[in-house]
Amino acid sequence: MKFAKHLRRLRIQKKISQKELSKYIGVPQTTLSDLENDKYEPSLSVAKKIAKYFGKKIDELT
């Protein structure tokens, strides 16, 4: 499963909005939307923050 699908699935399971998650990881909501829509892959620092938020390792998101 691609990063985008994992991210969206985890965010929905945790019942958090894109806006809330984007504030936590320090990116604009539009960037998070682009990540979920597979427009591009996250930088390593953003991927680490996302993994930390969800209690996952980066490789579990790819």
Domain chopping of the chain, boundaries: 3-56
C-alpha 26 chain-centroid distance: 11
Question: How does pLDDT run across 6-48, given as a tens digit for each residue?
Answer: 999 999 999 999 999 999 999 999 999 999 999 999 999 999 9
Residue 20, CA distances (Å) to 1, 6, 23, 26, 29 in order: 24, 17, 5, 10, 8
CATH number of 3-56: 1.10.260.40
pLDDT average, residue stretch 44-58: 95
- Helix (H), strand (E) counts: the chain: 4, 0
